[in-house]
């Protein structure tokens, strides 16, 4: 999977793709409208961050490229790639337990904190594209 050259774009339905883990310097896009929600993405090789309507949605360290990121009432799903293994944090419902699947492998149930954040480590180096699915 290649980086998202537009930094953020609409996909089918309400899915979006965003991020460019290949950039040496920070780049951002603000007020990107998808179904009435305004998205802001900041990305480069060390960090990728996404906000929706001013609220936290996604962050990875180091930076990643994300395709088909789709939020549903019971969770979210996306595919991700990067040059190095990444710590990914997503914003969900607070104090809620989610089943997490990374690369087709069930990694168990993880409970969000009081801020609704859930963090996972994803092995990306030399792997290409990895799917992530988080379901309540």
Report how far apart, in Å, the C-alpha atoms of 75 and of each of 24, 28, 134 are: 32, 26, 5
Read off the pLDDT of residues 69-126 as tens digits, 9 standing for 90 and up.
999 999 999 999 999 999 999 999 999 999 999 999 999 999 999 999 999 999 998 8
Q: pLDDT per residue over 48-65, tens digit each?
A: 999 999 999 999 999 999
Domain covering 8-135, topology: Immunoglobulin-like (2.60.40)
Domain boundaries, the chain: 8-135
pLDDT tens string 26-45: 999 999 999 899 999 999 99
Instruction: DSSP for the chain, please give it.
Output: ----TTSEEE-STT-EEE--TT-SS-EEEEEEEETTEEEEEEEETTEEEEEETTEEEEEEES--EEEEEEEETTEEEEEEE-SS-EEEEEE--TT-EEEEEETTEEEEEEE--TT-EEEEEE--TTT--EEEEEE-
């Amino acid at each position: 999977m290649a980086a998202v050259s537009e930094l953020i774009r609409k996909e089918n339905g309400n899915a979006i793709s965003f991020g460019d883990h290949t950039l040496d310097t920070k780049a951002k896009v603000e007020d990107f409208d998808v179904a009435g929600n305004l998205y802001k993405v900041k990305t480069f090789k060390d960090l990728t961050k996404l906000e929706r309507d001013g609220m936290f949605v996604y962050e990875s360290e180091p930076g990643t490229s994300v395709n088909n990121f789709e939020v549903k009432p019971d969770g979210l799903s996306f595919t991700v790639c990067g040059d190095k293994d990444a710590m990914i944090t997503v914003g969900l419902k607070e104090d809620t337990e989610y089943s997490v699947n990374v690369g087709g492998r069930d990694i168990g149930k993880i409970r969000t904190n009081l801020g609704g954040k859930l963090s996972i480590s994803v092995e990306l180096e030399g792997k290409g594209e990895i799917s992530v699915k988080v379901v309540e």
